[in-house]
Structure 1
Amino acid sequence: MKLWLFGLYGIVATTAVAGDRAVKKGITDTTGLVSSLPVFKDLERYSPLNFDQFGGHEIRALDRNLYSELFSHWEENQHFDYRILKELEEDLKDIKAKKGTALNCGSGVLEELKPVSTLEDEGLSLEQIVERIEKDILEFKDDETVAVNVASTEPVIPYDQEVHGSLEGFERAIKENRKDRISASMIYAYVSLKNGIPYGNFTPSAGSGIPALKELAEKNGVPHAGNDGKTGETLVKTTLAPMFAYRNLKVLGWMGYNILGDLDGKVLSHKQNKESKVVSKDKVVSKILGYEPYTITEINYFPSLQDNKTAFDFIHYQGFLGTKMKFYFTWDAVDAIVAAPLVLDIARFLNFAKKKGVKGVVKELAFFFKSPMDTDEYNTHKQFETLVNWYRSLK
């Protein structure tokens, strides 16, 4: 089994690869991996935990390798034991990225990743960009290859029925070089699904979520899932909000204030890039409760935190006899450490789904996402039960 990562040199991707190799070498255990829970113990028969090979696309530091990028992230964050880092050097130094695209990725990506090297810099048309991405992936893929998008968050591209509404329209737009309506995540998803590769969108970017690409997945019999990995504050929200519903307590307001550093924080400090992330985080409470309390969701860059993501949440709620009360919580985690294992989980479950003949949106993987496709179920407890039941029904 192989894993192709869009955004290969980012801290989430490099930590995911490091984690996979550390487990393989027996220098760490599987803590944090949902797919390694006892209830999924037979998954190893279909989707082994340790991947045979890693590859990916990137738009920066193409003269380096995965180990050098991981080391740079480690110097800033010290997000795991240094002894593990050193033991992985030989395993990671030969993993190198191919040049990717930053089409419509916004000022946040292009300014904060400087210097960048993209396919657009070569003056390629949209059709030529697709051909280059496809060439790279076809040279890498086998029958058990999965692709996951862990690149930086893109700005929202306005929905265009003519381009996004059908596969015919989307492919026509590629031929007509409609760069104004197609983003990098759409290109990555298109190439993956076109070539029978299951695709997971770990970002809030459009990815495979547009109707045209859902149509392609169904046509080619390929499973895909997304959007936006649920790793921290939103995981707590979707776990805690059902408690208020179960107890018939009325949530009057929910404020979530997030601060983070590192590249993710830099990119999200740009308004355009932040927009889709805020929407993804904000809507979950009303989806679970069935009504819309007053909400504030804010994300701000805080440089000294590096990859430590901290969230302060305040919940104002009403109980018996109309009495108003308050609940507070703080979430503090190393973002790459809570995100990286989920990338591996999603890839394993998508490969399992392909082997079992599942095609199109795998809504049963909603447990892993803030904005899961094709489902209105946001309750973490029910999502996990759905995941387990789906797995048992197929194995």
Structure 2
Amino acid sequence: MKVWLIGAYGIVSTTAMVGGKALEKNIIDKVGLVSELPFFSGIDKYAPLSFEFGGHDVRPMDNAYAASLDHWEQNRHFERHILEEVRDYLEGVKAAKGTALNCGSGIEELGKIETLEQEGLTLREIADRLTEDMKKFADDETVVINTASTEPVPKYSEEYHGSIDGFERMLDDDAKEYATASMLYAYAALKLGLPYGNFTPSVGSNIPALKQLAIEKKVPHAGNDGKTGETLVKTTLAPMFLYRNLEVIGWMSYNILGDLDGKVLSHRDNKESKVVSKDKVLEKVLGYSPYSITEINYFPSLVDNKTAFDFIHFKGFLGTKMKFYFIWDAIDAIVAAPLILDIARFLLVAKKKGLYGVIKELSFFFKSPMETDIVNTHQQFEMLKEWFSGLL
């Protein structure tokens, strides 16, 4: 199968590429791949562990190997020999120039980016270029996954975002203030009939116009915001309090991270949608809103090592107040990259089985899943298992 990655030179995308090709060569085992659990036996028939990669990026780098090596030198996040054994392939993966339209001050501060809008293209021309790039790469077994940096919350317009006719009019009107990069990438993918997964908190396909387009084109899509670390623990642990009828009084989450992700999220406009995505899960799991603090701060020396400190204040029998603490400390790309491959495989299965529109059963992979309020990890996993078993 083929995977087109938005943000192809980022650490999550490049780690997914390294892992995908290493799996093909039997250099590594399948630890971390949800789709390789026994519950999903038979997935190889529809989506084998054989990958070709391409993508868009706004960073001017030579190829995916150069990007992978840059990330590796900063993080040492896997054994170097793995990278070298897939080097020849990665050197042949060159990202097409992308767009960073309305991606916020965090991206603007990077400086060294090359975008389609810098060429003076109209909104329609940008969308057409993105579509043409994907079309050149794609075949009937191609999936598009967005792993780009988090965008600010977009300026919403019912006129432009409420229907596909309105979205097309936005492109023709060159109404750039209402468009974002993630919308344009999602539009290009869905227009071509390519399944689309949004691993970011950015809006992506989560507007009425693009949901309508997905149904018209009969394309499956899913998102938003990959659930990989602190929120994964939160949505797994919070149900324990619910099941034991313990009242959560307050929950403090303090996240520190480095790398490009951390740098971008150090900007308030980029951070907003990420904080909302992480913060809303408690109410959805517990059925009420305890006092909560969610902080995300840039800590350069951590690079891709994301660390979260959580403090939970809860009340038990006889009104006694008690405390629970945990620390999550993980290399973000290592926990995220296999999920990129998982989501791509499940979306391809959905396409081959004739499913389209939002695939809410893939909510297991997301903090803010579309078309469902179920964020309880246990319930999400049962949904995924039942959905898959019903397809075979």
TM-score range, shorter chain: over 0.9
User: Which position in structure 1 is the counterpart of 2:112?
Assistant: 115
User: Which position in structure 1 is the counterpart of 2:224?
Assistant: 227
Once the two structures are superposed, residues 203-250 of structure 1 have per-residue CA deviations (whole angstroms, 9 ceiling, x without a partner) of 000000001100000111000000000000000000000000000000
C-alpha distance in 1, partners of 2:319/2:160?
Answer: 51
User: Which position in structure 2 is the counterpart of 1:297?
Assistant: 294
Cα pair 2:146 2:200 within 8 Å, conserved: yes
Which shows bigger deviation, 288-297 or 158-167?
Answer: 158-167
Which blocks of at least 5 consecutive residues in structure 2 are unaligned? none
| TM-superposed deviation, 1:125 | 0.2
Which shows bigger deviation, 154-163 or 294-303?
Answer: 154-163
User: Which position in structure 2 is the counterpart of 1:28?
Assistant: 28
C-alpha distance in 2, partners of 1:49/1:378?
Answer: 28
For residue 13 of structure 1, what is the amino acid of its counterpart? S
For residue 173 of structure 2, the aligned residue among 172, 176, 191 is: 176
Identical counterparts, % of pairs: 66
* TM-score normalised per structure 1: 0.99
Residue 367 of structure 2: SS of its match in structure 1? coil
For residue 317 of structure 1, the aligned residue among 309, 314, 317 is: 314
User: Which position in structure 1 is the counterpart of 2:333?
Assistant: 336
Alignment of structure 1 residues 199-348 onto 2, 5 Å: 199-348=196-345
RMSD over aligned CA atoms reads: 0.6
For residue 98 of structure 2, what is the amino acid of its counterpart? G
User: Which position in structure 2 is the counterpart of 1:66?
Assistant: 64
C-alpha distance in 2, partners of 1:91/1:28?
Answer: 16
| TM-superposed deviation, 1:110 | 2.0
Once the two structures are superposed, residues 256-304 of structure 1 have per-residue CA deviations (whole angstroms, 9 ceiling, x without a partner) of 0000001000000001000000000001011100001000000000011
Q: 2:380 aligned with 1:376, yes or no?
A: no
User: Which position in structure 1 is the counterpart of 2:19?
Assistant: 19
User: Which position in structure 1 is the counterpart of 2:135?
Assistant: 138
| TM-superposed deviation, 1:158 | 2.6
For residue 297 of structure 1, what is the amino acid of its counterpart? T
| TM-superposed deviation, 1:38 | 1.0
User: Which position in structure 2 is the counterpart of 1:101?
Assistant: 99
Once the two structures are superposed, residues 19-59 of structure 1 have per-residue CA deviations (whole angstroms, 9 ceiling, x without a partner) of 001111111011000001111120000011221x2100010
| TM-superposed deviation, 1:88 | 1.5
Residue 180 of structure 1: SS of its match in structure 2? helix
C-alpha distance in 2, partners of 1:380/1:98?
Answer: 36
Runs of 4+ in 1 over 6 A off after TM superposition: none
User: Which position in structure 2 is the counterpart of 1:45?
Assistant: 45
Cα pair 2:155 2:177 within 8 Å, conserved: no
For residue 362 of structure 1, what is the amino acid of its counterpart? I
Residue 175 of structure 1: SS of its match in structure 2? helix
C-alpha distance in 2, partners of 1:367/1:49?
Answer: 21
* TM-score normalised per structure 2: 0.99
Residue 209 of structure 1: SS of its match in structure 2? coil
| TM-superposed deviation, 1:118 | 0.2
C-alpha distance in 2, partners of 1:175/1:342?
Answer: 36
C-alpha distance in 2, partners of 1:118/1:36?
Answer: 37
